[in-house]
Structure 1
Amino acid sequence: MANGDRQETAYMAVRVARLYYFQNMTTAAIADEIGTSRATVSRLLSYALDRGLVEIRVNDPQEVSGNLESAIAGRYRLRSIQVVPVPANATEKQNLQRVAAHAAAYVSSLVTPSTVIGLAWGTTLAEIADKLLPRRVHDVDVVQLNGSGTGLNFVDTFGESIVSRFAQNYGARAHHFPVPAFFDFADTRTALWREKSIKSIRALQDRASIVLFSIGAEATGSHVHTGGYLGEEERDMIRQQGLVGDIATVFFRQDGSWRDVALNARSSGPDLDCLQRAAHSICVVSGAGKIPGLRAALEGGFINELVIDEPSARLLVAQLQGQASP
């Protein structure tokens, strides 16, 4: 190729590259604009890459995420840690949507015939339900882990709708838990737990191989704190006893202890031992306000798989390394 021809080719390759990479034009649109074929445009793009006229850099978020995952794994024995990259300027809502989409895809990859899925309810789980991609799986059961009725409205559709959407997604059987989120009296719960219908639901909860939940926290405006489930007396109790979070309306302290928490005697949530027995006890977290509760849940051993957004993972690692106050 003569020097003049090479210069002309280089000029055209740069022009095509600018249109393709900077203007986001398709090869067909570029071909129309410069009066050539799509094949020629493709050859010019390849020429630009081969000659170094264009450099493509990929900033692999997995390298960053992998470092964060390793740091978390160095402290806690988890089966899986998945740090979800998010845009630097993303809002908390956008972060949650990104994490929810990741969690929805991951959970779907775990669902096999005869799986029992246990679901807590909350803002995060509702977002995950929105991100599910339909997939029919034979003989799947989806069971609600805790009641969602309130003192003003015994039948609360928030938790039930999440269970229904998961079940519909997999062509599964939905098992709702028609009890209050919190009973007025512990004795009432004890009596109801003896009923055969309730026993069967709780037995199914205990059989769940996939348990999906997030961390409830007052600082993040979690649904359990904003949906009318807690009165002022319960709120005071939570603050006075240093309860930093809840899973399926079962509260725990900073050290992960929960058995002697008075409020839990009135909760409809499961014993947290069932989380430790599940093959996939998956906690999905997005937002810095959940970190104190997440750390407590990790200390309690309630989690064996964690899905978390990158900014929250950075904060968690910084605290674990003593670079930020808990």
Structure 2
Amino acid sequence: MSSRGRFDPAILYQAALAYYVDNATQAEIADALGVSRPTVSRLLSEARAAGIVTIEVREPTVERDAELAGRLATALGLRKVYVTPTVGRRDIGAILAPGVGRAIDDAGLVPGDGLLVSSGVTVYEVVGHPLPPAPGVLVAPTVGGQLESEGPYQTNEIARRLAMKLNGRPVLLYAPALPSAELYRSLLGDPHIQEVLGLWKTAKAALLGVGAPPLTRTIMPSTFQGNPHWLRSAVGDINARPYDVHGTPLDLETNDRLIAMRLEELREVPHAIAVAVGRNKIGSIIAAARAGFFNHLVTDTDTATALEAAATTDR
């Protein structure tokens, strides 16, 4: 040690170099320097205190995720992708809400603008978390849901929760997703229904859940109940409207009375934001993106990585 009671800087440097650069263990360093293991620990501590070793702690995925987002947007033909870090088994909503917030901010909504929101587990989870304010925005469902038993398909509740987060105003859809033919005709004449249908045509943005293949799911909207033959050919759905692997909407006999925005109409929404995670949704996301049902995507690192691999392989 030096006369000041500290170790010689050369010894500090040797210990730090071996430990931090060469990945030597403290036991190996002790043998090489002829000191005890506790002394090696003190050497490393003093090397940090003396500035010989500096440790930088930073978010490891931010820059990498930004690059991944850019590549994925190109691969899927989207305007922008927002990638949030995958962190253990945290709540999906907490993981994705920051990305959804950025996407809504980027839409540049002003009071009176329409923001549509669909059903789905992921959307349901996201709207339970803080989002940046968008005062005066009109929030409306893209699909009926009054008779649904599962929370993720109660679209009025989702719209209300989202409006509260944004400090906006909910414009609710008082209708089931699939009414009888007689009720359907009656509902179309209701002024409240007409207000929502009007927003479907003029909305500046939409927040859309992308459903996994129906046969892989544990909960689904009531319109999917039973086991119709088309469930086997559906790769995913948006607004309770299923589509196949090519992004072609499935031609169902119930389509004409389903109170839900048509998939083709989503192409007219300037800022259509899909929010989806999970490797079981890779095919669902790719098909919908390439069909133009959304132009922005919020997902996590794991899903984005798998999407990029799949999208570049099947070109």
Give the TM bin, normalised by the shorter chain: 0.7 to 0.9
User: Match of 2:165, as an amino acid?
Assistant: N
What do you get for the CA RMSD once the two structures are aligned?
3.5
Tell me, yes or no, if structure 1 residue 200 matches structure 2 residue 195. yes
SS of alignment partner, residue 150 of structure 1: coil
Distance 1:266 1:251, change over 3 A: farther
What is the aligned counterpart of 2:178 among 178, 182, 198?
Answer: 182
1:121·1:158 contact (CA, 8 Å) conserved in 2? Answer: yes
Mapping for residues 265-304 of structure 1, pairs under 5 Å: 265-304=256-295
In structure 2, how many angstroms separate the alpha carbons of the residues matched to 1:259 and 1:180?
20
In structure 1, how many angstroms separate the alpha carbons of the residues matched to 2:217 and 2:52?
51
Of stretches 176-185 and 256-265 in structure 1, the one that deviates more from structure 2 is: 256-265
What is the aligned counterpart of 2:165 among 161, 166, 169?
Answer: 169
In structure 2, how many angstroms separate the alpha carbons of the residues matched to 1:296 and 1:145?
20
Aligned to 1:124: 122
2:235·2:243 contact (CA, 8 Å) conserved in 1? Answer: yes
Any gaps of 5 or more consecutive residues in structure 2? 13-44
Tell me, yes or no, if structure 1 residue 80 matches structure 2 residue 80. yes
In structure 2, how many angstroms separate the alpha carbons of the residues matched to 1:208 and 1:100?
21
Tell me, yes or no, if structure 1 residue 231 matches structure 2 residue 231. no
1:101·1:128 contact (CA, 8 Å) conserved in 2? Answer: no
2:117·2:141 contact (CA, 8 Å) conserved in 1? Answer: yes
SS of alignment partner, residue 75 of structure 1: helix
Aligned to 2:240: 249
User: Match of 1:120, as an amino acid?
Assistant: S
SS of alignment partner, residue 116 of structure 2: strand
User: Match of 2:229, as an amino acid?
Assistant: M
Deviations 1:252-276 (A, max 9, x none): 1111111734343332111223321
User: Match of 1:118, as an amino acid?
Assistant: L
Distance 1:263 1:222, change over 3 A: farther
2:215·2:231 contact (CA, 8 Å) conserved in 1? Answer: no
In structure 2, how many angstroms separate the alpha carbons of the residues matched to 1:96 and 1:246?
20
Deviation at 1:104, TM superposition (A): 3.5
Distance 1:262 1:245, change over 3 A: farther
Aligned to 2:309: 318
1:104·1:128 contact (CA, 8 Å) conserved in 2? Answer: no
Of stretches 195-204 and 139-148 in structure 1, the one that deviates more from structure 2 is: 195-204
Q: TM-score, normalised by structure 1?
A: 0.73
1:214·1:283 contact (CA, 8 Å) conserved in 2? Answer: yes
In structure 1, how many angstroms separate the alpha carbons of the residues matched to 2:58 and 2:215?
36
Any gaps of 5 or more consecutive residues in structure 1? 14-44
SS of alignment partner, residue 127 of structure 2: helix
Deviations 1:14-72 (A, max 9, x none): xxxxxxxxxxxxxxxxxxxxxxxxxxxxxxx9993772323325463134323432332
The ranges of structure 1 where at least 4 consecutive aligned residues each deviate by more than 4 angstroms after the TM superposition are none
Aligned to 2:6: 7
2:70·2:80 contact (CA, 8 Å) conserved in 1? Answer: no
User: Match of 1:299, as an amino acid?
Assistant: R
User: Match of 1:231, as an amino acid?
Assistant: Q
User: Match of 1:64, as an amino acid?
Assistant: R
SS of alignment partner, residue 204 of structure 1: helix
2:120·2:153 contact (CA, 8 Å) conserved in 1? Answer: no
Aligned to 2:15: none
Deviations 1:172-227 (A, max 9, x none): 22111111112344x7535533444422220112211110011122256375x1x5
1:104·1:131 contact (CA, 8 Å) conserved in 2? Answer: no
Q: TM-score, normalised by structure 2?
A: 0.75
Mapping for residues 212-223 of structure 1, pairs under 5 Å: 212-217=207-212, 218=214, 221=217, 223=219
Deviation at 1:290, TM superposition (A): 1.5
Aligned to 2:21: none
Deviation at 1:102, TM superposition (A): 2.8
1:65·1:85 contact (CA, 8 Å) conserved in 2? Answer: yes
Deviations 1:212-257 (A, max 9, x none): 011122256375x1x544321xx323324x1211111122111111
Deviation at 1:95, TM superposition (A): 4.4
2:173·2:196 contact (CA, 8 Å) conserved in 1? Answer: yes
Q: Percent same amino acid at aligned positions?
A: 21
Distance 1:162 1:6, change over 3 A: farther
1:249·1:269 contact (CA, 8 Å) conserved in 2? Answer: yes
SS of alignment partner, residue 180 of structure 1: coil
- Aligned pairs, number: 279
Aligned to 1:18: none
